[in-house]
Amino acid sequence: MNYDLLIDLHKGNTRQGPGSDRHTLLAMKLANLVGNKTEIEIADIGCGTGGQTLVLANNCNANITAVDIFNDFLSVLNNKAEEENLLSKIKTKNCSMDALDFQSESLDVIWSEGAIYNIGFENGVRYFNQFLKKGGIFACSEITWLSKNRPHKLTEHWTTEYSEIGTVKEKVEVLSENGLNLIGYFALDESCWMDNYYNNLSASFDKFLERNNHSKEAIEIVDAEKFEIELYQQNKDYFSYGFYIATKE
């Protein structure tokens, strides 16, 4: 996997996965986080260039640690935080999400949009949970089957890409096995995928290929994205990202 190329393709976009400011805010409301009085500790894990981090910072009283493995994404977030006068609320941290160094049960909120799959949902839920205070909020978005029956080609593609893709029921079971009780759920809508993610990516393909001299690797990356976009457009009723909001017992 050529990470430099992936970063190059994605870092100019406001989000590196499906999502929207409106849906981040909806999840915050379901978690009862909007306009809280006492300052809380939030970790935003796999923050990318910080689309959701800025929404969190703008809508609640919090000290946010935004974690990502790629410095290029974090520096974009730092610049945005500076522009929006949010540097006092957002600290970026370059760290892998499986090697976090928060104190045990020190966080009020663990937030993670479109990123937990990198270490697997089940593993990630179990691992992140140790850093969450009792009564704290766990909120994450994760690719989810919306129906039991699906076209074979779709199941085959996504289970090869990510073996843990599953139904809402399966995801909620993993949460409850870890003492996390669901208090809110919704699925991201089509605009989160197309308007906020895939359309921006598609618009950047030509320049990306030019910048990278139409290298074989760059072409392969674009072709894989185009395949995924087409698959989404043909099958959007069968899967989306589910947004899971839970509290720790």
Looking at the Cβ atoms of 108 and 113, the one nearer to ligand SAH is 113
* Smallest separation (angstroms) from ligand SAH to the CB of 175: 19
Secondary structure of residue 107 in the 3-state scheme: strand
* Smallest separation (angstroms) from ligand SAH to the CB of 76: 10
- Residue whose structure tokens are 């598609």: 202
Q: Which residue is nearest to ligand SAH (CB)?
A: 48
Looking at the Cβ atoms of 67 and 180, the one nearer to ligand SAH is 67
Secondary structure of residue 48 in the 3-state scheme: coil
* Smallest separation (angstroms) from ligand SAH to the CB of 70: 4
Write out the residues near ligand SAH by the rule CB under 6 A: 15-17, 19, 46-48, 51-52, 67-70, 73, 96-97, 113-115, 118
- Is residue 187 within 8 A of residue 143, CB to CB? The reply is no
Of the candidates 57, 30, 45, the one whose C-alpha atom is nearest the C-alpha of residue 186 is 30
* Smallest separation (angstroms) from ligand SAH to the CB of 50: 7
Do β-strands 239-248 and 132-145 pair in parallel, antiparallel, or remain unpaired? antiparallel
* Smallest separation (angstroms) from ligand SAH to the CB of 53: 8
Looking at the Cβ atoms of 32 and 200, the one nearer to ligand SAH is 200
Looking at the Cβ atoms of 22 and 169, the one nearer to ligand SAH is 22
Helix ranges (H only) for the chain are 3-10, 21-30, 51-59, 71-83, 121-129, 152-161, 168-177, 190-193, 199-211, 216-235
